[in-house]
Amino acid sequence: MLVPLIMSMLAPDTITITVGDLERTARVAVPTATAEKVPVVFVFHGHGGTALAAQRSFKLEHHWPEALAIYPQGLPTPTQRDPEGKRDGWNARSAVDNRDIAFFDALLEWAKKTHRIDERRVYVTGHSNGGGFTYLLATQRGDKLAAVAPSSAGPSQRAKEFPKIPVLHLGGQKDIIVPFASQERMVNALRDRFGLMEIEPKVDGLTKTYRKNGTPEIVFFAHPGGHSLPVAAYPLIAEFFKRH
């Protein structure tokens, strides 16, 4: 088991945490609005991305200033498109000895020690490889999460072990990196898991919401673009988390 060791501030917006024998970093946006307890949002960048780029895109601290926003930085990780693992990303394939799940655990402990967080309101979102990791993390730490919002990811095999927590899935209809059809399969697999296959969706623009009494909702935001998220998606993620 990987154990977090010393934690320190590198800069006002960056922390470093030693987990096992790995030094990990994350960008942090501290809430600007005061509250008795604050929610926490983790944002995982895509493969080849950075925490800084994710922060500039998602801007969770702008859309939800009351929340503590944490943008972890990945490490070189092999993927199907990068078999040699030259670019930074997340181990979204296996939970066994997963350094990135241990990193999440360490960051959550850091948040508990440094801020008055509301442990009932911990959220995770991520794009592409970060979205796949969001799905994996939900299967392993679902008891700690209030809701998740994966983007451009489609590991439908995860649905069988997925916890019954609210899900916002975001996907592009012209995505050629993670084909839209595989993302639809993931959403339908979750609907089947939650008992929502027979439920007609409530349609609001590009968004379909599947909900029934006593069951967490599944929201599918299917935009007409490709692998990248449109600007309109980011406030949608914040509003979804606020509801849960």
- Give pLDDT tens digits for 167-181: 999 999 999 999 999
Q: What is the pLDDT of residues 45-98, one digit of tens each?
A: 999 999 999 999 999 999 999 999 999 999 999 888 899 989 999 999 999 999
Residue 16 has pLDDT above 50, yes or no: yes
Q: Bridge-partner residues for 223, per DSSP?
A: 172
Instruction: Average the pLDDT over each of 112-116, 120-124, 137-141, 152-156 and give the range with the smallest value.
Output: 152-156
Closest CA to 42 of 64, 20, 22, 21: 64
* DSSP per residue, 95-139: -TT-HHHHHHHHHHHHHHHHS-EEEEEEEEEEETHHHHHHHHHHH
Give residue 33's pLDDT band: very low, low, confident or very high (50, 70, 90). low
For residue 66, which amino acid is it? E
Residue 133 has pLDDT above 80, yes or no: yes
Distance CA 117, CA 182 (A): 36
Distance CA 43, CA 70 (A): 6
The pTM (predicted TM-score) of the whole model is: 0.93
The answer to whether the CB of 113 falls within 8 A of the CB of 100 is no
What dotted CATH number matches 4-243?
3.40.50.1820
